[in-house]
Amino acid sequence: MAAIVPGAGPVLTIAAMTFTEMLLAAQRRNGSLLCVGLDPEPARFPGALRGDAGRIYDFCARIVDATADLAIAFKPQIAYFAAHRAEAQLERLMEHLRRTAPQVPVILDAKRGDIGSTAEQYAREAFERYGADAVTLSPFMGWDSVQPYLKYEGKGAFLLCRTSNPGGDDLQNQRLSSVPGEPLLYEHVARLAQGPWNLNGQLGLVVGATYPQEIERVRQVAPTVPLLIPGVGAQGGDASATVRAGWRQDGPIVVNSSRAILYASPGDDFVAAARRVASATRETLAAALPE
C-alpha cells in the first residue's frame, strides 16, 4: 500500500498554494482521501436538533469538529442551506471552517452553469461571499461559463464530467458524432479540463464512484487534474474500486461521503458515530492505495 503519512512533506502557507497543492497538503497532513460532504437535512437531525432548521450551523459545526483531522476536504452543498433560508448559517459555517480547520480545503457544491455577468456574480458568491476554496460547475454552456471562476488566483473549479446518477447517460455517455472513434461527451470534457481550459492549473473533474471503469477512463484522458468523486457510502459506490481507478501520485482524488457520516446515528452519540464512520472510510480508502 502506498503510504499517506499524516504530517509528512513540506508545509506551505495557504496563500502560497494552488488549489491542487492545498489538496495534496491536506492529503499528507491528515493521511486522507476522504471528503466529508455537508448536506444538512433538519428532518434527519438527531435528538433535540431534529426538525429545527435554525440549528443547521450547530449540527454541521459539530460534524466538522469531529472529522477535521480525518478529511482531505469538506463539501457543503448549497441547496441544503438555501432551501431552509440558511445562507447566513452557511456563511457562519464557512468562517468556522477557516478558523478551526484552515488546512482543509472547502469545496462549495453549487453546480453553477451560466455565462457573462451572471457567471461573474456566481463566482463572487462562491469565492468572496462564502470564501470557498473551490466550486463545482456545469460546463455545458462552454468555456465562457467557466472562465470567470478562473480569474480568482489559487481557487479551484470542478467540472461535472461523468456523474453517478443513471440519467447521466442521457448526455454524458453520448458520442459527439456518428464517426467511429469520436469521444464520448464526458471524455471530451475531461480533455478540455486537462488541456486548453486549464490555463492556470485550477480545474478538476467530478466523476461518480458508481462507474469505476469510467473513472479509469477519465484518468487516462486527464491524468493530473484533481478528481472529486461522490457516491461512496449511502449511494453504494465501491470505495476500494474507486481508489484503484482514480489514484495517481500527482493527481489527487477527493472521495466524498455525506449521508453515511452525517447520519451515522439518530441519537445523542451522533458526533462520535460520525467520527467512527469517517475514520473507517478513510482507512478503507487508504487500504486500497497501490503498493
* pLDDT at residue number 175: 64
* pLDDT at residue number 12: 42
* pLDDT at residue number 8: 47
Q: Would you list the domain boundaries of the chain?
A: 14-287
* pLDDT at residue number 11: 40
Q: Is 178 in a helix, a strand, or coil?
A: coil
Look up residue 268 and give its three cell numbers: 445523542
| Burial letters 100-132, b for 16+ CB under 10 A, else e | ebeebbbbbbbbbbbeeeebeebbebbbeebeb
Q: Is 50 in a helix, a strand, or coil?
A: coil
Q: Does domain 14-287 have CATH number 3.20.20.70?
A: yes
> What is the spatial distance between Cα 203 and Cα 190, in angstroms, rounded to a whole number?
10
Given a cut of 50, the residues of the chain with pLDDT beneath it are 1, 3, 5, 8-13, 170
Known catalytic residues? 111
Is the overall model pTM greater than 0.85, yes or no?
yes
CA 163 to chain centre: 12
CA angle 153, 126, 231 (to 5 degrees): 105
CB 235 within 8 A of CB 260: no
The secondary structure element, H or E, covering residue 245 is: helix 239-246
Structure letter (DSSP) for residue 250: T
> What is the spatial distance between Cα 137 and Cα 135, in angstroms, rounded to a whole number?
6
> What is the spatial distance between Cα 138 and Cα 133, in angstroms, rounded to a whole number?
17
Neighbours of 290 (CB within 10 A): 9
Q: Is 206 in a helix, a strand, or coil?
A: strand
CB 92 within 8 A of CB 123: no
